[in-house]
Structure 1
Amino acid sequence: MDPRNDSPQQRLTLLELLLVWEGRIYRSRVCELFGIGLPRASQWIKEIRDLNPTWMQWDSKSRSYFVTADFYKRYTKASQASISESLSRYLSMVGLPYASALDDGTGVMWSATPSITAPSPKTFASLGHAIRQAKAVDIEYMSLSEPAPHRRTIHPHSLVLAGRRWHVRAYSETNQEFRDYALGRILEVKPLTRPSDRTRFDDPDWNTKVKVRLVAHPELSPEQARVIQTEYFNGTSSRVETCRAALVPYFIQDIRAAMDTEAQHAPEYLIAIENAREVSKWLFNR
């Protein structure tokens, strides 16, 4: 959006996205995103406050407006499709590319696979705020190994979009190790006042870099292998990607690469991991 040609409705839409997915709004953030000065940012925030006075509450310590419970009531019955659309637009606004399957037909890019795992806006914003403020949080969580809702105190350091799912990378006080918590399985987030004493710099798997060597599946014919090499490797015989160790299993899942070419056959698998033995130590079932 060109801030010189914006309309009140455009401004309202953009600032609402910030409120939904960041949980607060403040002048310097508005200036950073839209390239405007502080007086203009103040005007934008005043407009949304005047139109919706129950959406935000001023916090003098952080000099920002935090969303209220009344604001999130608007999203309690929102469809998964509308939440996914909102998240995609937010990611586009803050710098990630977006191609909507709900476009009116004038675009040139399309998403063939709609998201079915968009997280709760309140969960996303609460965790993002805790990370920025370096605070621990208490969560109510469900997992396949422990399906009944249970509470955990965690120290989050990163929100991660891995394939189609969002998770938070955090230190678990219960397990005394860094783990991934799927946002869709978090039922509640309670902020804690105490600072987090575990950061991303304490997470060994996050800070370990792993080289993953990709090749065409060896069961493909030479002609078929050249197709894969052209499509994925820029015509070369292989490609090496450097990943954080904590994200290696998600990367392999996302590109559907074979770790064991004797059990995972072509054409179901078109790509194989050449250094599978080295990489296997970072998989989920290690």
Structure 2
Amino acid sequence: MSTHKDAQAERVTLLELVAYWEGRVNTILLTHHFGISRQYVSADLKRYRELAPDNLWYCASAKSCLAGIDFQPILTSADVAQYLNWLGAGFPLQNAKLQVITRACQVQYPLNEMQVNTEVLDGIPEAQRLVLVNQADIRGVV
């Protein structure tokens, strides 16, 4: 039987996974994915910030928590296989551009049959964080 702490741990872990690989996470993803209220998501974000205070920061214009430049996963590995397994299970991406790319790749190469060059993918999270931080800085949010 799953306890409240187990459920929150699962949600916080997903929050970190998505923030690391997509550069941001918002309440919509977690409320839809887990069927929970925004209050639970707010509690999960608060819990994650207690665990890793420098990993996420809220950007009002993006209505999302953005991954900090020095984001260091504490609950998940930086292994792309973990993220691809989550995507392969049919869960949505937050980033519309990534959705299009992923759908195109899945049509041509289903995730379970793809040979992934992890050296190429390893640079994506840092590049995504730099782009998001620069965009926020330009808007005067930082």
TM range (shorter): 0.5 to 0.7
In the alignment, structure 1 residue 28 sits paired with structure 2 residue 25:
no
Alignment partner, residue 91 of structure 2: 94
Paired letter, 1:184 = V
TM-score, normalised by the number of residues in structure 1: 0.33
Query: Shift in Å at residue 55 of structure 1?
Result: 0.6
Contact 1:18 1:25 in 2 (8 A): yes
Contact 1:30 1:41 in 2 (8 A): yes
Alignment partner, residue 39 of structure 1: 39
In the alignment, structure 1 residue 70 sits paired with structure 2 residue 6:
no
Task: Classify 1:29/1:130 alpha carbon distance in 2 versus 1 (closer, same or farther; 3 Å).
Answer: closer
Query: Shift in Å at residue 61 of structure 1?
Result: 0.3
Superposition pairs for residues 47-86 of structure 1, below 5 Å?
Answer: 47-71=47-71, 73-74=72-73, 82-86=79-83
* Structure in which a larger fraction of residues adopt helix: 2
TM-score, normalised by the number of residues in structure 2: 0.60
Structure 2 unaligned regions, length at least 5:
136-142
Paired letter, 1:92 = A
1:45 and 1:157 map into 2 onto residues whose CA distance is 27
Alignment partner, residue 158 of structure 1: 101
Structure with more contact order per residue of length (Cα contacts < 8 Å, sep ≥ 6): 2
Alignment partner, residue 97 of structure 2: 131
* Structure in which a larger fraction of residues adopt strand: 1
1:184 to 117, 120, 128: 120
User: Highest Rg: 1 or 2?
Assistant: 1
Query: Shift in Å at residue 40 of structure 1?
Result: 1.1
Task: Tell me the number of residue pairs that the alignment of Structure 1 and Structure 2 aligns.
Answer: 117
Superposition pairs for residues 95-134 of structure 1, below 5 Å?
Answer: 129=95, 131=97
Secondary structure of residue in 2 paired with 1:13? helix
2:17 and 2:121 map into 1 onto residues whose CA distance is 23
Query: Shift in Å at residue 21 of structure 1?
Result: 2.6
Query: Shift in Å at residue 70 of structure 1?
Result: 1.3
Query: Shift in Å at residue 22 of structure 1?
Result: 2.3
1:185 and 1:4 map into 2 onto residues whose CA distance is 34
Runs of 4+ in 1 over 4 A off after TM superposition: 2-5, 185-193
